[in-house]
Amino acid sequence: MNDSRFSRRGLIGAGLAAAGAGVGAVAGVAGSAAATGVDPFTADANGDESIDLSQSVPFYATAARQPQGGIRTTPQRHCVFMVFDLTASTATELQVLLARWSAAIAQLQAGRTIGSVEPAHGDGVGADTGEALDLGPASLTVTVGLGPGVFDERFGLAAKRPAHLAAIPALPSDTLDEQLTGGDLSLQACADDPQVAYHAVRDLARMARGTATVRWTVIGFGRASAGPTQSTPRNLMGFKDGTRNITTDDEYDRFVWLDDDAGWMAGGSYQVVRKIRMNLETWDADVVSDQQRVFGRTKVEGAPLSGGSEHTAPDFHARAPHGTEGGTAIDARSHVALAAHENNGGVKILRRGYNYTDGLNQYGQLDAGLLFAAYVNDPEHFTTLQRKLGASDRLNEYVSHIGSGVFAVPPAPRKGSYVGEQLFH
Amino acid sequence: MNDSRFSRRGLIGAGLAAAGAGVGAVAGVAGSAAATGVDPFTADANGDESIDLSQSVPFYATAARQPQGGIRTTPQRHCVFMVFDLTASTATELQVLLARWSAAIAQLQAGRTIGSVEPAHGDGVGADTGEALDLGPASLTVTVGLGPGVFDERFGLAAKRPAHLAAIPALPSDTLDEQLTGGDLSLQACADDPQVAYHAVRDLARMARGTATVRWTVIGFGRASAGPTQSTPRNLMGFKDGTRNITTDDEYDRFVWLDDDAGWMAGGSYQVVRKIRMNLETWDADVVSDQQRVFGRTKVEGAPLSGGSEHTAPDFHARAPHGTEGGTAIDARSHVALAAHENNGGVKILRRGYNYTDGLNQYGQLDAGLLFAAYVNDPEHFTTLQRKLGASDRLNEYVSHIGSGVFAVPPAPRKGSYVGEQLFH
Cβ pair B398, B281 in contact under 8 A:
no
Distance between A267 CA and the closest CA of chain B, angstroms:
32
Query: Taking CB atoms and an 8 Å limit, are A286 and B117 in contact across chains?
Result: no
Size of interface A-B (CB pairs under 8 A): 224
Please provide the average confidence, as pLDDT, over all residues in chain A. Answer: 87
Q: What would the mean pLDDT of B218-238 be, rounded to a whole number? A: 74
d(CA B107, CA B415): 12
Nearest to A280 by CA among A390, A359, A218, A339: A359
pLDDT of residue A89: 94
The pLDDT value given to residue A33: 33
* Residue pLDDT, tens place only, B377-398: 999 999 999 999 999 999 999 9
Asked if B218 lies within 8 A of A359 by C-beta distance, the reply is yes
pLDDT at residue B350 is higher than 70: yes
- State yes or no: pLDDT of B228 exceeds 80: no
Handedness of CA A411, A416, A422, A423 (dihedral sign): positive
**What is the average per-residue pLDDT within A294-309?**
96
Contact A124 B235 (CB under 8 A): no
**Cβ of A52 and B226 within 8 Å?**
no
Q: Which amino acid is at A151?
A: F
Residue to substitute from A284, A287, A293, A322, interface B, most B β-carbons within 10 A: A284
State the pLDDT at residue A224: 56
Picking from B46, B294, B357 by the largest number of A CB atoms within 10 A of its own CB, the best residue to mutate is B357
For residue A193, which residues of chain B lie inside 8 Å, CB to CB? Answer: 223
Indicate if the pLDDT at residue A18 is higher than 60.
Answer: no
Q: What is the mean pLDDT of chain B?
A: 87
Q: Using one digit for the tens of pLDDT, what is the confidence trace for B99-156?
A: 999 999 999 999 999 999 998 876 899 999 999 998 899 999 999 999 999 999 999 9
Give the pLDDT confidence of A177-191 residue by residue, as tens digits. Answer: 999 999 999 999 999
Please tell me which residue of chain A has the smallest CA distance to B225. Answer: A135
Query: Nearest Cβ partner of A289 from B117, B121, B222?
Result: B121
Bridge partners of B390, per DSSP, are none
By residue count, chain A amounts to 425
Spatial distance between the Cα atoms of B99 and B105, rounded to a whole number of angstroms:
10
Residue A53 is predicted with a pLDDT of 84
Three-class DSSP labels, chain A = CCCCCCCCHHHHCCCCCCCCCCCCCECCCCCCHHHHCCCCEEECCCCCEEECCCCCCCCCECCCCCCCCCCCCCCCCEEEEEEEEECCCCHHHHHHHHHHHHHHHHHHHCCCCCCCCCCHHHCCCCCCCCCCCCCCCCCCEEEEEECHHHHCCCCCCHHHCCCCCCCCCCCCCECCCHHHECCCEEEEEEECCHHHHHHHHHHHHHHCCCCEEEEEEEEEECCCCCCCCCCCCECCCCCECCCCCCCCHHHHHHHCCCCHHHHHHCCCEEEEEEEEEECHHHHHCCCHHHHHHHHCECCCCCCECCCCCCCCCCCCCCECCCCCHHHECCCCCCHHHHHCHHHCCCCCCEEEEEEEEEEECCCCCEEEEEEEEEEECCHHHHHHHHHHHHHHCHHHHCEEEEEEEEEEECCCCECCCCCCHHHHC
Chain A residues touching B195 at Cβ < 8 A: 221-223, 234, 355
Question: What's this model's pTM, rounded to 2 decimal places?
Answer: 0.89
Largest CA distance in chain B: 78
pLDDT confidence tier of residue B300, bands split at 50, 70 and 90:
very high
Mutate which of A46, A83, A288 to test chain B, going by most B C-beta atoms within 10 A?
A288
The tens digit of pLDDT for each residue in A403-414 reads: 999 999 999 999
Least confident of A107-111, A149-153, A331-335, B27-31: B27-31
pLDDT at A16: 27
pLDDT for res B375 = 98
pLDDT of B227 strictly over 80: no
Q: Average of pLDDT values for B316-345?
A: 89
Q: What average pLDDT does range B225-242 have in this prediction?
A: 74
> What's the sign of the alpha-carbon dihedral B115, B121, B122, B123?
negative
Q: What phi and psi, each to the nearest 5 degrees, are found at residue A366?
A: -60, 130
Contact B23, B34 (CB under 8 A): no
Nearest chain B Cα distance for residue A259, angstroms: 36
ipTM over 0.85: yes
pLDDT at residue B49, rounded to an integer: 54
**B170: distance to nearest CA of chain A, Å?**
25
> A109-113, A223-227, A351-355, A386-390 — which is least confidently predicted?
A223-227
What local confidence, expressed as pLDDT, does residue A122 receive?
A: 67
Alpha carbon distances (Å) from B187 to A271, B68, B81, B139, B147: 38, 12, 6, 16, 11
Best of A192, A305, A366, A370 to disrupt the B interface by mutation (most B CBs within 10 Å)?
Answer: A366
CB-based contact A271:A374 (threshold 8 Å): yes
Distance CA B272, CA B404 (A): 7
d(CA A89, CA A170): 28
pLDDT at B224: 55
The reply to whether residue A125 touches residue B284, judged by beta carbons under 8 angstroms, is yes
Q: CB B136 to CB A49 under 8 A?
A: yes
Is the C-alpha dihedral spanning A219, A69, B1, B13 positive or negative? negative
CB contact under 8 A, A136 and B193: no
Written in H, E and C, the secondary structure of chain B is: CCCCCCCCHHHHCCCCCCCCCCCCCECCCCCCHHHHCCCCEEECCCCCEEECCCCCCCCCECCCCCCCCCCCCCCCCEEEEEEEEECCCCHHHHHHHHHHHHHHHHHHHCCCCCCCCCCHHHCCCCCCCCCCCCCCCCCCEEEEEECHHHHCCCCCCHHHCCCCCCCCCCCCCECCCHHHECCCEEEEEEECCHHHHHHHHHHHHHHCCCCEEEEEEEEEECCCCCCCCCCCCECCCCCECCCCCCCCHHHHHHHCCCCHHHHHHCCCEEEEEEEEEECHHHHHCCCHHHHHHHHCECCCCCCECCCCCCCCCCCCCCECCCCCHHHECCCCCCHHHHHCHHHCCCCCCEEEEEEEEEEECCCCCEEEEEEEEEEECCHHHHHHHHHHHHHHCHHHHCEEEEEEEEEEECCCCECCCCCCHHHHC
Would you call A238 and B126 a contact, using CB atoms and an 8 Å cutoff? yes
B285 and A125: CB-CB below 8 Å? yes
Are A25 and A254 in contact by the 8 Å Cβ rule? The answer is no
> Who contacts B208 (Cβ-Cβ below 8 Å, separation ≥6)?
B84, B97, B101
Residue A209 has pLDDT above 60, yes or no: yes
CA dist., res. B36 & res. A175, Å (int): 48
Reported as half-sphere exposure (CB side, CA atoms, 13 A), residue B228 has a value of 17
Predicted pLDDT at B231: 75
B218 contact residues in A (CB cutoff 8 A): 359
Q: Give me the pLDDT at residue A50, please.
A: 62
Contact across the interface for B355 and A195, Cβ inside 8 Å: yes
What's the pLDDT score for residue A123? 82
Q: Which of B117, B136, B284 sits opposite A299 (nearest CB)?
A: B117
Overall average pLDDT of the B251-265 stretch: 97
Quote the minimal CA–CA distance from A358 to chain B in Å.
7
- Quick one: average pLDDT of A147-174? 96
| CB atoms B359 and A358 under 8 Å | yes
Check CB contact under 8 Å for B205 and A236. Answer: no
Q: How close is the nearest chain A Cα to the Cα of B144, in Å?
A: 19
% of chain B residues with pLDDT over 90? 79
* A218 vs B contacts (CB less than 8 Å): 359
Tens digits of per-residue pLDDT, A34-88? 333 334 444 433 334 567 789 999 999 999 999 999 999 989 999 999 999 999 9
pLDDT above 80 for A364: yes
- Contact: B234, A130; criterion CB under 8 Å: yes
Q: What residues does A240 pair with on adjacent strands?
A: A234
- Chain A: closest CA distance from residue B238 (Å): 4
Which pLDDT score is estimated for B388? 96
With a pLDDT cut of 70, the percent of chain B lying above it is 85
CB contact (8 A) between residue A357 and residue B219: yes
pLDDT at A282 over 60: yes
Distance between CA B8 and CA A419 in Å, rounded?
43
Mutant choice from B1, B5, B82, B131 vs A, greatest count of A C-beta within 10 A: B131
pLDDT at B30 over 50: no
Mutate to test the interface with A, among B118, B281, B358, B362 (most CBs of A within 10 A): B118
Classify residue A193 as exposed, middle or buried by CB count within 10 Å of its CB (0-12, 13-18, 19+): buried
Q: Do B122 and A51 touch (CB under 8 A)?
A: no
B203, closest residue in chain A (CA to CA):
A284
Cα distances (angstroms) measured from residue B416 to each of A234, B64, B106, B156:
33, 14, 11, 24
Cβ contacts (< 8 Å) between A285 and chain B: which residues?
A: 125
Residue B134 pLDDT: 85
- Maximum Cα interatomic distance, chain A, rounded to a whole number of Å: 78
Across-strand partners of B219? B80
Pick from B125, B234, B358: CB nearest A288: B125
pLDDT digits (tens, 9 = 90+) for B53-83: 899 999 999 999 999 999 999 899 999 999 9
Q: Is the pLDDT of residue A422 over 70?
A: yes
Distance of CA A270 to the CA centre of its chain: 11
Distance CA B255, CA B247 (A): 11
pLDDT bucket at A320, cuts 50 / 70 / 90: confident
* B280 chain-A contacts, CB cut-off 8 A: 129, 202
Torsion angle of C-alpha atoms A278, A284, A285, A286, degrees rounded to 10: 80
Is pLDDT at B242 greater than 50 in this prediction? Answer: yes
Chain A CB contacts of B290 below 8 Å: 122
Question: How near does any CA of chain A get to the CA of B425, in Å?
Answer: 33
User: Which pLDDT score, from 0 to 100, does residue B52 have?
Assistant: 79
Whether B8 has a pLDDT exceeding 70, the answer reads no
| Torsion from C-alpha of A387, A388, A394, A397, nearest 10 degrees | 10
Position A323 scores a pLDDT of 61
Q: Residue B343, Cβ neighbours under 10 Å: how many? A: 17
For residue A1, pLDDT over 50 is answered with no
Paired residues of B354 in beta bridges: B371
Chain B residues with CB under 8 Å of A198 CB are 236, 357, 368
| B247 or B212: which leads in pLDDT | B212
